[in-house]
Structure 1
Amino acid sequence: MPRFHCPVALASGDSLALPAGAARHVQVLRLQPGSPLLLFNGEGGEFEATVTQMGRSEVTVQIGAHLAVEREAPRAIHLAIGMPANERMDWLVEKATELGVASIQPLLAERSVLRLAGERAVKKQAHWQGIAIAAAEQCGRNRVPAVHAPADLAAWCAASARDTVRLVLSLDAAAQPLRGFAGQGAVTVLSGPEGGLSPQEEKLALAQDFVPVTLGPRVLRAETAPLVVLAALGLA
């Protein structure tokens, strides 16, 4: 059954004109009056609904029963990522959402290929948030992970909250195996861009209470390593 993110108040029994984005999606799928669908607004659960009217640009639905179903990962995993270039970041946001990421913080690191500032950064953030919404619709999640505005890595390290376990992916021989952190509470994972974090950035992270962890003897791509973390910790 088609699912649509609808970031407005939803209540059983209400008639609702869908927001523009959801309405366009309904029209693209060529749904008709009487077609069933599911709506979710990110506040928990989802609602059954039925299309009641199709206009040139408007779609009206009747909201049915609320289904108290959640499909979130058993622990909150927040990714702080040195942005890989262009379509690789798009792919990473999509797959991380499917794997249950709680939030994504894009970071500008010393070795970042992708450089964003000003209006371009604002547009990219909105683009990535849209990818996360589409991925949540597809995979069945009822909560959409926030994709935050791109930030400078050093500034973010200093200002980020310390209310989670803090890990940094590292190639250092002294780094601990990631599996040693399975089963704990919420976690924030810092991962570098193409070429990894610089020695200075890794030193800064350690000074901010990040624990170095390793994914094993192989060197993974910037867009692959965070997904391995999500799969390993999110399913543990």
Structure 2
Amino acid sequence: MPRFYLPTALAPHTTLNLPDNIIRHIHVLRLNAGDSITLFNGTGTDFAATLQEIGKRHAQCHITAQRQPENESPLKITLVQAISSGERMDFTLQKSVELGVHAIQPIISERCVVRLSGERADKRVQRWQDIAIAACEQSGRSIVPTVQPIVSFADYLRQMLRHEPHLMMSLHRATTLRDIAPAPQSLRLMIGPEGGWTPAEEQAALAAGVQTITLGKRVLRTETAAMAAMAAMQVLWGDF
């Protein structure tokens, strides 16, 4: 059933005029009056609805019921991702949402090729948030992970929450996920850019209490590392 994100108050037995972005999607999918859709507003509830009217620039639906889907992982992973270039970052965010990420914190590290600030940074964060929303629509999630504003690596270390485990992907002085105990309920996974972390960054992270982890002796691309680590964590501590 088609799912659409609608960031407004939703309730059963109400009729809504749908916004332009959903109307365009309805036309692309060639939906008709009488077809069923699902709406969600990011709060964890799905709302079943029936399309009543569809025009070129107008569509109306009636909400018939609500339900609480139980598809959120018990493991809350915040992905602390050094910004990668081009479609790699988009891919990483999209797949992390499908894998159950709780939130995403983009950071700028020394070897980041992409440098964003000001209005350009704000627009890119909004683009990434839109990608997260689309991934929720596709994967059936009803809680939308938040993409946080971009910060520098140094600023992130200064403001990091010390009580929450921080696991940094690295090949140096690293342990395996199996050796981490006790099993965390929430954590921060730190993934470097295409060129990896610099020795100075790894040293600063270790000094701040970050633990380095490895998925083996092979060097993984940044987008591969994020996906592989999250999948392994879901197997060990989540809902896989």
* TM-score normalised according to structure 1 size: 0.95
Aligned position for 1:208: 208
Q: How does 1:22-41 map to 2 (within 5 A)?
A: 22-41=22-41
Q: Matched residue of 1:136: which SS? A: helix
Which amino acid in the other structure matches residue 150 of structure 2? P
* TM-score normalised according to structure 2 size: 0.93
Instruction: Write the distance in 1 (CA, Å) between the matches of 2:25 and 2:193.
Output: 34
Q: How does 1:59-74 map to 2 (within 5 A)?
A: 59-74=59-74
Instruction: Write the distance in 2 (CA, Å) between the matches of 1:219 and 1:74.
Output: 29
Aligned position for 2:101: 101
Counting matched residue pairs gives: 235
Q: Any idea what the Cα deviations from partners look like across 1:162-207, whole Å, max 9, x if unmatched?
A: 34211111111x2111222373210001111011111111111112
Question: Residue 28 and residue 163 in structure 1: after superposition, are their counterparts in 2 closer, same or farther (change >3 A)?
Answer: farther
Is contact 2:4-2:40 (8 Å) kept? yes
Aligned position for 1:150: 150
Question: Residue 70 and residue 20 in structure 1: after superposition, are their counterparts in 2 closer, same or farther (change >3 A)?
Answer: farther
Which amino acid in the other structure matches residue 180 of structure 2? F
Identical positions, percent? 43
Aligned position for 2:78: 78
Q: Matched residue of 1:61: which SS? A: strand
Is contact 1:38-1:48 (8 Å) kept? yes
Deviates more, 1:89-98 or 1:181-190: 181-190
> CA offset at residue 135 of structure 1?
0.9
Q: Matched residue of 2:229: which SS? A: helix
Q: Matched residue of 1:235: which SS? A: helix
Question: Residue 72 and residue 181 in structure 1: after superposition, are their counterparts in 2 closer, same or farther (change >3 A)?
Answer: farther
* Structure 1 residue ranges (4+ consecutive) displaced by more than 6 angstroms after TM superposition: none
Is contact 1:107-1:150 (8 Å) kept? yes
Q: Matched residue of 1:48: which SS? A: strand
The alignment yields a C-alpha RMSD, in angstroms, of 1.3
Instruction: Write the distance in 2 (CA, Å) between the matches of 1:228 and 1:168.
Output: 13
Is contact 2:74-2:185 (8 Å) kept? no
> CA offset at residue 102 of structure 1?
0.7
Deviates more, 1:224-233 or 1:15-24: 15-24
Question: Residue 43 and residue 163 in structure 1: after superposition, are their counterparts in 2 closer, same or farther (change >3 A)?
Answer: farther
Is contact 2:111-2:197 (8 Å) kept? yes
Unaligned runs of 5+ in 2: none
Q: Any idea what the Cα deviations from partners look like across 1:37-72, whole Å, max 9, x if unmatched?
A: 011111112111001112332321100111111211
Deviates more, 1:197-206 or 1:52-61: 52-61
Q: Matched residue of 1:47: which SS? A: strand
Aligned position for 2:180: 181
> CA offset at residue 28 of structure 1?
2.0
Q: Matched residue of 2:222: which SS? A: coil
